[in-house]
Structure formats: C-alpha cells, structure tokens
Structure 1
Amino acid sequence: MSDPKSSYGEPVEEPRVEDDVVVRAEDSLADADAAREAVASDTHVDSADAPVETVPDTAHDTTPDSSYDEPVVMAAAPDEEPIDYSKWQDDTVEPEAATTAYVPPAEYDTAVTPSEPVAPAAVAGAGVAGAGVAGAAAVAPAAQPIFVQAPESPRPRGNRGAAGAIGLLAALSFAVLYLGAWLGFGAIDGEVTTANVGQTALNALGTWSLWVPVVTFYVAFFLLGAIINRGRWGSWVIFGLLVGAASYGGHILGQLFQAPFWSLTAREGADLVESQLLAPLAVVAFILGRELTIWFGAWVASRGKRVTELNTEAQREYERTLEAGPQLVRV
C-alpha cells in the first residue's frame, strides 16, 4: 500500500471499495470529465493526463502515518478547482468548548430582579444553597419595600356610658330624697316619731314601695340619656317630664307590688290605684324624677359637649393627615 505522504503527482491504484466515499467521488468526477469532453469540442484535455490526488484507504491502511490531519484534495480537470474532502471528515468537539460557560456580551444586563420583595433572610439562604453550583447567576439585592397604610377614620365617641354612670348617682339621690319624703309625711301623720324613725327607715328599705320607683327612675333616665347621647342640656329639660312621669308610674307600681297585686281582686286593685293617683308620695316621685333629670342631665350634657369637641378635633386631625399625604416612616 502506498504512503499517503508520497508524491501526489502519480496516480496510485487502490482497491475499490464500493462503500468508500472517496471511490464514489472519483467515479463522479470521471463521468463529469467525459461529459465535458463531449460538449466542449474545442477543448482537448485528456483527463488521464491530469494529475489526480488520491485519498488513502483507511479501511486497509494500517500504517501509523495514515491519518486525516491534513486535508485531502483531489485534482480534477484543469478548468475545475480542487475539491476539498475535509468536509467529509467527522467533526470533533474540543474538550475546552464543551466545558466553557457562555459569557453574554457586556451590553446585556444579567442581574435578576425579583418581581416581589424578597426578605433578607430568604436571599441569604438562597445564596448559601447555590454557592456550590458553578456558573450560577448573581441575584441583585431587592430594594427595601415601603408600605403605605391609609389612616383610618376616627370613630366618634359616645356619651351613653357617662349617662348610665351619672344615672346611678341620680337614682341614689332619688332614693334618699324619696325615703326622706316618706318619713316626713309619716311624721306629719304621727306614724313616725323620734323613737321609731330609725326602725321605720330600716323597714322601708326592704319594701317594694321604695325600690320600684327608684329602679323605674334609673331605667327612664338611662334610656333618655341613650337617646340624647351628646345632645344639649335643653333636651334634658324638655324630656325630663317623661322621666318624671315614669317615676310617678313607678310609685303606683310599687304600691301594687307591696299589696301584693297577685293576691288582690280586680276591684281591690282598681281601688288601690285610684287611692294613689294623688297621693303625696306620688307627686313627690314625679317632681323628683323631673328635677333630678334636669340637674343631673346638665352634667351629662356638659360631658357630651366635651366629647363632641374631642370628636371634632379628631376629625380635623384626620383630614389634615389625608391632605399631607403618605409619610415615610423608618422603623
């Protein structure tokens, strides 16, 4: 077998292998030369005289010098350019190219910006987890988020609790004055003397006749305070008549409980109510109920006015906060 490094000027007869790519290429060139000689009559080129370079047969060549390190070119007719058969060689991938990471151009920004705020602890944990991965993309630190919370509208303060607390003091005053009137009218009738005044007062504390008017007065006072709330004192003066009427009815109801009414007939109950309509204690209950409502109602109205001023100031502060807009507060 001939050495591929020998002179390329002389044709060398090689065994024809039907599956060899080089042999098929030689046959194609021979057919092309024959067709060209038939068409171009003015050209008399003997294809046999043209130097032909052969490609070493790798299937039969066992010499250590047979390799494809140098491109093999077969000479064709003089009018054709030499054919480079190096394209038939298998492409090999350099080991460096297979392991080299792609580096994008400088004009491209490779920083990754998260779409949502990332906590510093999460970013630190992600950096530790990805420290051992070669070629990991660097994550840019997320900007510190700024939370803007709209201020809530101030809730108006009420005055009903104060009306209930002041009503307890008013009811206690009603009980003391009502008991005093009871003992006074008993002294006028001769039933109460200096000797039995203490015992009479203790006996009165355990009767329905005393506590039913007191409870009725307190309930009426509290309901009126819940309705008026932060209203003016004039409302207490006008509607104090209703509390007085409720106290008057409480006196009659107390007499019925004291009887007691469930042991009376209808006729006896009617006579008892009729006898108490103009009783001195009934009139006292009406007067005390109205007057105490007026004066203790003034106390409730005074506090209601102060609460109204506080609500107005809170609303103004809320409006000023809205006009100023969101403020950046660093914690």
Structure 2
Amino acid sequence: MSDPKYGEPIEEHPPVETTSVDEAVASAHAGLADAEAASREAAVDAPSTADAEAADAVHTSASAASEQAPQPVVAEPARAESTPATHTEPVYGSSFADDPVDETYVPGAYSSSAETVVVAEPVVPVVPAAAPAPQPIFVQAPEPPRLRGNRGAAGAIGLLAAVAFGILYLGAALGLQAIRGEVTGANVGTAALAAVQSWWLWVPVVVFFIGFWLLGAVINRGRWGHWVIFGLLVGVVAYAGHLLGQLFQAPFWTLTARQGADLVQGQLLAPLAIVAFVLGRELTIWFGAWVAARGKRVTELNDEAQREYERTLEAGPRLHQS
C-alpha cells in the first residue's frame, strides 16, 4: 500500500463491529448464576452421594458459558502515576483526524469477578470411637482367720499349778517328818532349806508341770469335763515323779540294780507318794477349770472371726477410694 499523495482522496474504511464487552460479562455472570442455582438445588434435593455429580455439572456449565462468551479485548493498563491519555492518529488531508478515537483505559472496568461456587462436600458419618476395654482390677481375697489356740495359756497356768504343787508337796513332806519327830520348831527352817536344795522336791514338781502342760496341749480349748476325767493321768505322772525323785536323791547311779529296785518298792505306798498323786489329781482339776474357761473365750473369738470372714466373702470385693 502506497502513501497517499497530496490532493488525492483518502478511502475511509468502515468501522469494525465488535461485540460489547458488557454483554459478554453479563452473559458469563448469568451462566455462573444458573450453574450455582442448579448446584444448590442438587445439594438440597439429592442425597450426599450425588454432590460430586452436581459439582461436575456446575463446572461444566460455567466452562461452556465462558467459551461461548466473546473474550473482551482489554488494553494494557498504564502506570499508576500517569493520567489516562487519548491517542489520536492524524491523517494528512483527511477529516478523520478531526474525529479522534477515545481509547481511555479505566482500571478495573473490564475485570470480571467470578462468584465463588460453594459445593457441599459429602457428609461422612462420624463413628464414635470404641471405648477402651476396662482393665481388670485384681483384689486380694481376704485370708481366712487363723484359729487361736489355748496351749500357751495352758503352759502358763501350768507353771502356777506347778508352784502350788511344790509348796503343798514340801509342806506335806515337812509335816510327815514332824510326825516322825525328825522336824521340830527349832529346825523347821533348816529342814525346809535342805528340801529346797534336794532332788526329791524338784523332780516331782518338774514332772507334774510336764504332765499338766501335755494334757493342756491335747485338750486345748476343751471343756472342763476333759480336765476332770484326764486329770487322773496327771496324778499318775506326779506319783511317778515322786518315785523318780527318790531315785535321783539316792542317787541311782551309785546304786546297784537290786538296791534301786528295793528303793522303788519301798516308796510305792509311801505317804508322800500318795500325797503326790492326790495333789497332782486335784490341782489338775482346779487349775484345769481356769484353762477351760479361757479356752471357751478363745472359741468364741474364733467363731466371731469366722463369721466375719464369711460375711466378707458374701459381700464381695470393694474398691476403697482414698
């Protein structure tokens, strides 16, 4: 194309028709609005499983509307500090220079703000977490009560009975010696002191205590009637203790077998041997009543402890908070 010369007419080209930018933007907004309304209706009416399909439909409609709408031609924005300028291209010898085209750029005039499409996410049912299994609590079972015995008390009471036996046995021996004229008021102290230092007194006392305690260990918490019946055995033991005391007093390790037999035979019916038997029998009865009374009390305590143990088992284990 050659430049026009002076005096030649200039051909004027008809203006090119362009699609209005406002109409394109309005069409895009209308498509987005329709898509949003369709997605909202689908989210309300359809179950949660169809939400994904509604979201796809919305995005498809919006994409189609955007493709159908003509894309606006936007001029490059000028710097902020510069003022909008009007560009006019003069043509020599033409009236087209008298009608400048106003190409003023207004920032933000052609920018379209897309509305945010909220798509309902599928509702996931919340399953409550399973509660942890309770840990077993080990409770120590109560121990059965330990039954109390009466053997210790029988031994302690037997000591008192042995002291009583020794005093009565010594008094009976001094009395028999006084009858024979061996002990008088002048030498009674000397005779008593000599008896305390002799075997014939302590051996029967020790044997009596052993017999009493053994019987108490067997009877334990038994009734007094047991002491009355089996006290005869303690009398026999005391009688045997008298004979053994005479042998220790001899002493028997210096005697021959014949002499030892004659000594025992001479003491079989001796008055002091009979006294030992009677004292052993009677003291066992009366001191045995004391042991039996304590045994009865111990039995009651054992029964009460057993009942308490059974009540505890029936009640079951309990947790005590501190």
Q: TM-score, normalised by structure 2?
A: 0.59
Q: Which runs of 5+ in 2 are unaligned?
A: 1-123
Q: How far apart in 1 are the matches of 2:146 and 2:257?
A: 53
- Residues 308, 112 of structure 1: CA spacing in aligned structure 2 closer, same or farther, 3 A cutoff? closer
Higher share in helix: 2
1:9-51: CA deviation from partner (whole Å, max 9, x where unpaired):
xxxxxxxxxxxxxxxxxxxxxxxxxxxxxxxxxxxxxxxxxxx
User: How many Å separate the matches in 2 of 1:201 and 1:106?
Assistant: 107
Verify: 1:263 aligned to 2:221, yes or no. Answer: no
Q: Distance in 2 between matches of 1:257 and 1:109?
A: 94
Corresponding residue for 2:150? 159
* 2:204 is aligned with 1:204: no
> Equivalent of 1:148, from 139, 143, 154?
139
| Residue of structure 2 in register with 1:252 after alignment | 243
Misfit runs of 4+, over 3 Å: 105-113
CA–CA distance in structure 1, aligned partners of residues 141 and 228 of structure 2: 43
CA RMSD of superposed structures (Å): 1.9
Give distance in 2, aligned partners of 1:204 and 1:251: 14
Corresponding residue pairs, total:
199
Match of 1:294 in 2: 285
Counterparts of 2:195 and 2:175 in 1: how far apart (Å)? 13
1:304 partnered with 2:295: yes
Instruction: Tell me the distance in 1 between the aligned counterparts of 2:126 and 2:243.
Output: 99
Aligned twin of 2:179: 188
- Between structure 1 and structure 2, the one with the greater Rg is 2
Structure 1, 292-301 or 319-328: larger mean CA deviation: 319-328
Instruction: Tell me how far apart the structure 2 counterparts of residues 311 and 111 of structure 1 sit (CA, whole Å).
Output: 50
TM-score, length of structure 1 as denominator length: 0.57
Q: Percent of aligned pairs with the same residue?
A: 73
- Map Cα deviations across residues 208-267 of structure 1 (whole Å, 9 max, x no partner): 100000000000000000000000000000000100000000000000010011111111
Separation (CA, whole Å) in 2 of partners of 1:283 and 1:301:
27
Query: Please, which of 303, 321, 329 is the counterpart of residue 312 of structure 2?
Result: 321
- Looking at structure 2, the residues matched to 281 and 233 of structure 1 have their Cα atoms a distance apart, in angstroms, of 28
The offset of 1:278, in angstroms, is 0.5
Distance 1:211 1:245 in 2: 17
Name the CA distance, whole Å, in 2 between partners of 1:225 and 1:314. 23
C-alpha distance in 2 between matches for 1:289 and 1:210? 14
Equivalent position amino acid for 1:329 in 2: H
Taking the aligned partners of 1:112 and 1:150, their CA distance within structure 2 comes to: 29
Q: 2:207 maps to which residue?
A: 216
What is the distance in 1 between the residues matched to 2:125 and 2:248? 100
Gaps of 5+ in 1: 1-104, 118-144
